[in-house]
């Protein structure tokens, strides 16, 4: 390996470490959060799949582990990946729309804080040069990147007709059981195709 390559790799790693430090020390919405800020995420220079979700729940906030709850269990079941695979940052970069737990509302967790995505998502994505597939989970991620006029159900259903590096999923929360019951094609037809597309990226 040449000296120039070594220097370049060191510079790229420094950018990653600086960004991680900056995210962890962020206090932009500190006064609006129910708990002290604790950004929950994972990524590395080698991440091959970028998974963009909603915001950590209280269990993930407490443990500091992304998707550390029932929704995460269902998500890994949908993708047919083990915990070891899912939490390997060389395989998965896991970045929510809101990096900190937003608190509870009347019908579940509050939406991700709006300050977060514009501040952090682009800098993170710009450094993930090895990503070959992006997974958008839930309405908030899809609305942010594809506009509110595009319905989540349409994105999820139409992806089976496309050869793309983008994957769309409904949120795996138990609160979405009604949607799953109404759209049985998702687990029957769409998930097997998604799993096939992911298989070669994470193995």
pLDDT for position 176: 94
Neighbouring CB atoms inside 10 A of 120's CB total 22
Residue extents of the structural domains in the chain: 3-202
The pLDDT, as a whole number, for residue 199 is 87
Residue 201 confidence (pLDDT): 83
Superfamily of structural domain 3-202: Uracil-DNA glycosylase-like domain (3.40.470.10)
| Contact call for residues 32 and 6 (beta carbons, < 8 A) | no
Average pLDDT per 10 consecutive residues for the chain, totaling 203 residues = 52 84 94 95 95 97 97 97 96 97 91 96 94 96 94 91 86 95 96 90 82
In the prediction, which pLDDT does 21 show?
A: 95
Q: Is the dihedral of CA 65, 71, 73, 74 positive or negative?
A: negative
Which pLDDT belongs to residue 6? Answer: 46
Question: Is pTM, for the whole model, over 0.85?
Answer: yes
Neighbours of 37 (CB within 10 A): 17
Helix, strand, coil percentages (3-state) for the chain, rounded to 5, are 50, 10, 40
Contact indicator for 179, 148 with CB cutoff of 8 Å? no
Angle between helix axes 116-127 and 3-24 (nearest 10 degrees) is: 160
- Distance in angstroms (rounded) separating the CA atoms of residues 104 and 90: 32
For residue 169, give the nearest of 195, 148, 130 by alpha carbon: 195
Q: Are 28 and 39 in contact (CB under 8 A)?
A: no
C-alpha span between 95 and 42 (Å, rounded): 7
């Amino acid at each position: 390996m040449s000296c120039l390559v070594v220097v370049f790799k060191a510079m790229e790693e420094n950018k990653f470490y600086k960004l991680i430090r900056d995210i962890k020390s962020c206090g932009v919405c500190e006064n609006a959060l129910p708990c002290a800020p604790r950004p929950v995420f994972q990524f590395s220079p080698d991440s091959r799949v970028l998974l963009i979700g909603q915001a950590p729940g209280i269990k993930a906030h407490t443990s500091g582990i992304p998707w550390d709850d029932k929704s995460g269990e269902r998500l890994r079941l949908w993708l047919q990946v083990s915990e070891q695979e899912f939490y390997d940052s060389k395989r998965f970069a896991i970045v929510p729309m809101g990096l900190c737990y937003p608190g509870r509302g009347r019908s579940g967790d509050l939406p991700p804080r709006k300050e977060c995505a514009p501040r952090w998502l682009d800098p993170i994505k710009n450094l993930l040069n090895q990503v070959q597939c992006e997974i958008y989970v839930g309405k908030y991620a899809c609305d942010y990147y594809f506009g509110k006029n595009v319905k989540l159900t349409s994105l999820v259903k139409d992806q089976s007709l496309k050869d793309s590096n983008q994957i769309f999923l409904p949120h795996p929360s138990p609160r979405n059981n009604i949607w799953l019951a109404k759209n049985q094609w998702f687990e029957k037809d769409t998930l097997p195709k998604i799993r096939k597309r992911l298989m070669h990226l994470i193995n």
